[in-house]
Structures are given as structure tokens and as C-alpha cells.
Structure 1
């Protein structure tokens, strides 16, 4: 079963809508006014750290696994960058095994261990095509760090799976650039990227909720305005 390929079957649009609803209900996707790493005031905030109990984490892993399978990305193992990527990689590996695709997983420490086995890597040896699993991608910095680590171990950084693609301009030296972090990773670093949902999916969800009251309609308008200002060409 280790090398069994699962045929893509998920309806990705429906999966994305279901995921956005799940994230909102779990309190992980929130609306209001939040300062991003780029210094922007965003009308929404996604904090995967709030998938903070067993049931939420298990459901999250199902979304990741379904999106990964639907993407058709080929890989030999999964890797979770410290820290948020560690539980993500572990639970996604469990879910993939449940679906019939048992693959090794590994993760890194932020600081090298100076006793026992030592080093910064934990889990299965890094080899073959590696799928990096993380929550979001703000500037591509974490992806570059993972790529360097995986390459140094003699494996091939092949793809990245994330929960949400914000589809907004990245920043370089404090200036907006015309591409997103996801586009940078795809076009400049040469990795495939699989996202469970995107900003466009979030807007589609809010559009269906607009009849639910003035608050949801306002959230839609604010997120749409944010995308108009900072969104990237797809």
C-alpha cells in the first residue's frame, strides 16, 4: 500500500467551500481588523493554531488529504516545518494512510539537538520527492528554509500543501510586488502548490452568506475591497 496511487475524486470547489465554512465555525477564520506581517490591515485573519482539539485537527487533516489527492501531485513523503507544520504533517500522514496511501513523514527542530541522535531532523529519513505541509504562505520564507533543509539532506523539495492561499501581493524590502508568495514558490522556486481554499473561495462563501445579515454583507464588501487593492493577477 505504500506506493498505491489514489485517483483524484474530490470536487475541489465544493471541498473549498466546506473548508471555509468549517474554518469560520471553528473560529479559525475570523473577520474584523487584523495587521498582517506585511503591515496591512486585513479584514480577515486565518490562524491554524486555533484548530486546537482532536476533532478539529482530524477534520483539518481530512481536508488536506482530500485536496492533496485531488491535486494529483506525486510525492514520496511529507515534511512538516517547525512549528505549526509538525502536527499538520503528522495528522495528514495518518489520514493519507487511512485513505490507503501510507507514506513516511518527518519534521525539523528549530534548534539542533546536541545529545541522543542529534541534528535538527526527526522522523523518517528525507528522500525522494518531498511534500511540505504548512498552514499559510505569507512571503515564501518558510518554504525557502524547508527547501534548503530538504535539499541539504539529499532529497527533492517537490511541492507544498497549504490550507489557505491569500492570493495577495507579497512584499520585498517593505514594498509590494506584483506576485503572491504562492506564485513566487511556483514560478521562482519551481514547486507545485496545493491549497485547500483561496481568497476567491472565501469571497464566494461570503457571497452565499450575504442574506444572513448586515454583518456578513459588510464582511463581503470589506474582503472584496481588500482583494481589489492587494489581490494578484491569477
Structure 2
């Protein structure tokens, strides 16, 4: 067979350019190995690059139906580029880290939700690099079910990827590559036997499939939630069939109550800024709690606490507002550190605390960085039973399905206001950004008929939630 002859030719060339080394090495996954594949050197050998791309095309890609190619960064990128040109298919680029400026995207290129992407990789051991790329592509709504690779080390990578619905097609397995090198007298039988024994005895760690929170129903996530307020909110959402949070940024207590009287049956949460109410009284709080009970929604005071622990505890419990007595949950910045979580949790006389930790903001030019987000999530991991969820803009900010993503900045049509507030559509915020509860304010409260507009938002958001959990993202 011509392809077999070319495969043997490629194996010999890889050996001759030192892309295959024998000795004592450590793999990326921490495994000791008597053979190491350094395919980064192929960029210096155009004839090897051309042969690899041709063989991948002929033996693994020809006849496949897909829309895009994506090379796992970084070694596979030049091969993916050549293949893209050969097969006349669009190529996508996956960043290892999101940009801290501009679009902050992980995936670069033009694509549509529901399109299919084929992954290109050089070598798999555990399959973790392919899986990371797969997950980032899937987060964008792309279908990823196949990976084409140069070498399968036969140490569990293919099995790990199969558990995540990714099938692997390789040019070489470790076994047949070693057989070719023995056949052409590049290595001796002892070296080959050493490698065969190693393959048989040494396997990469299993990568267990985790539950993608955005594909789980609210009912299922209520079972997984460890925070009492998160459990209640998810249950309300499932029961009322709404994931809409109304932001009542009004300065009149009577106006707030009037709006809630009209729209309360259609929301799961109301978000208040109590300190902007000009005629605040304890009667307002009594009426607000009565409406919440009658229409079965929770109350979020968007206080955005950001002081030292002792001060925050006083702000939460004391003063004229006494937030702890009526708010089911509050928003909190992670800037002061984990002490702010401890402070709220330590407040006596409060039945249960709900805390939304602010990980991202929707305002243009905000100063939150990727590192800040990562540190915020680390704090949350330590206090998951105290947290209801995160205020954030992206589905990959956190994984825990028992926590809730609260996303502000939504209107029926994308837009931006005069103060840099960026608005997303219900479809984008649910399918692409992974929101669980969506905050809408002026789109409803400034409408001529809030009771009519709230239904439009409720139905649009729920429709996209149902599409998301069904897995039908097209």
C-alpha cells in the first residue's frame, strides 16, 4: 500500500531529525518514559511538514464532514494551517489564555453556533490538551466529536477522550511506530521491548467526565447545591419556569412596589439598591417581603460590599436598612479577600445567607483582570456552602453546578448606553455566555407597559434555557 510506504518514510524522517528520542524522560503529565516525541522540530523541515499534512489528509480527514479545523496550541498549529489550505476549510485559533483586552475571546476566527470543528494534535498521552481545546470550542457552541493526531502513545488518551465523546484517529500508535523503526534498523529489539513493556505497564491518569453545569436542568442543580439560598432559587426557577431577575433601580418605594405588583408572577428574583430609595421606610420592606412571598421570588440587595470584614458585618446587620433582616442574598466584592465572606457568615440571627460574589462586570473598561477572576473563584471554592453564585459574564468562569451565574446587562437587542453599560441579547447571554439568572432593568421598568415587556423577556430567556439543556444549540 502506498500510504503504508509513506508512513514508514515519515517514521524514518522523524527519527532522523531527532523528533523521536530514546532515553529517560518525563512527559507533560509527569510520567517517566523511555521514549520522547519532540515534534516541535518539524517546523524546520518543510518536507516533513508536507508529508505529515498529506498523510493526515489522505488517511484520516478525507471524506469527513466538518466546517472548521483547530490545532491544539502550539505544536499542532502549523500542521492545522497546512491542512486548512489543503482541504479548503476554515481554521480557528484557540488561545491558551483569554486576552485581557478587546474581545477577551478564547477562540479566534469566524464561526457559528452549531458548526462542527475537527481538532488537530501532534501527540496524545492523557488527552488533556485535546480535551482543553474541545471544552473551549464547545463553550462557543461548536460541535467537537473527532480529533486527528500524528501519534497515539497508547497510554489512555484515546479512552479518556472517548469518555468525553471525542473519537481519535491517528497516523501512528506507539506500537506500530516502534515496529517500523525496528524494521528499518533504527532501534534494536531490546529498545523496542523496553518501550512495549512501558506501554503495557504505564498509563496516564483517567480523566473523568464532569457535569457541564450549563447543560444541567435547574431541578438537577438544585439537588447539587450546598447553599440553601441557591437551592431555593433554583427550585423557584424550575417551578415558575422563569430565570428572569428584575432590577428595580427606582428612587420611589411606591413605584417599586407598583412595578412588582404587575410583574412579580414572572420573575424569580428582584434586585434592589435600597440606598437610592428617597422615601425608604420599614413599611416598604414589609410590603416588599409580602410581595416576594405571594409571588414566590427572592430578594437580592445589590449592595456590592467591599470593605473590611468588621465594617461589612455592621453594614449588613445595622444602620437604617438592616439588610440582613430582609434580603435573601447580597452582592459582595472579593477585593478585600476571604475575610468579607467570613464576616457575613458570622452574623448572628440570620437564618441563611446568600452571597453572590462579583467576578466580572458588564461595564465597558472595567478594571477586573483574568488573574482577579481566578483568585475570586479560588475564594469561592473554599466557601462554596456559603455562596449562592457569581456575578459574571462568561460560562467558563466557574464549574460548580451547585452555584448560580447571575448575569446583568441584557436587552432584547444588543446595545450600549451612554455610561458604557454593554447589553447582550437573551440568546447570546444564555447560549454563549452561560447565564443562569439574567438581570433586566430599564428594558422592563422604563417600558410603557412593564407587564407586557416582562413576558417578552421571560419567554425569550426560558426558550433559550430549554434549547441549552436539550443540547440543541443550533
Q: Does 1:184 align with 2:160?
A: yes
The verdict on how the C-alpha distance between 1:44 and 1:57 changes in structure 2, with shifts beyond 3 A counting, is: same
Residue 444 (structure 2) aligns with: none
2:84 equivalent in structure 1: 93
Alignment gaps of 5+ in structure 1: 1-9, 97-101, 169-179
- 1:182 deviates by 0.9
Q: TM-score, normalised by structure 1?
A: 0.75
Q: Does 1:220 align with 2:211?
A: no
Aligned to 1:65: 57
More relative contact order in 1 or in 2 (CA 8 Å, sep 6+)?
1
Quick check: 1:107 aligned with 2:83? Answer: no
Q: What is the TM-score of this pair, normalised by structure 2?
A: 0.39
Contact residue 89 and residue 133 of structure 1 kept, 8 A = yes
Q: 1: CA distance between counterparts of 2:45 and 2:18?
A: 15
Residue 145 of structure 2 corresponds to residue 153 of structure 1: no
**Count of matched residue positions in the alignment of Structure 1 and Structure 2:** 202
Structure 1 residues 124, 48: CA separation in 2 closer, same or farther (over 3 Å shift)?
Answer: farther
Greater strand proportion: 1
Deviations 1:159-200 (A, max 9, x none): 1011100112xxxxxxxxxxx1112212x1112211111112
**Alignment partners' CA distance in 1, 2:35 and 2:86:** 29
Distance in structure 2 (CA, Å) of the matches to 1:229 and 1:148: 29
Q: What is the CA–CA distance in structure 2 between the aligned matches of 1:78 and 1:184, rounded to whole Å?
A: 21
- Residues 152 and 137 (structure 1), Cα distance of their counterparts in 2 relative to 1, 3 Å cut: same
- Tell me how far 1:209 sits from its aligned partner: 3.0
| Equivalent pair of 1:160/1:193 in contact (CA under 8 Å) | yes
CA-atom RMSD, angstroms?
Answer: 2.6
Alignment CA distance shift 1:110-1:46 (3 Å): same
Distance 1:124 1:26, change over 3 A: farther
Contact 2:24 / 2:34 at 8 angstroms: preserved in 1? yes
Conservation of the 8 A alpha-carbon contact between 2:22 and 2:35 = yes
Q: Does 1:141 align with 2:120?
A: no
Q: Spell out, residue by residue over 1:38-93, the C-alpha distance to the aligned partner (whole angstroms, 9 max, x if none).
A: 444322111111112251333332232223236x5432210123222322221221
Aligned-partner Cα distance in 2 for 1:26–1:62: 19
- Describe the SS at the equivalent of 1:90: helix
Cross-structure match for 1:34: 25
Aligned to 2:370: none
Q: CA deviation at 1:37?
A: 3.4
> In 2, Cα distance between the equivalents of 1:167 and 1:64?
18
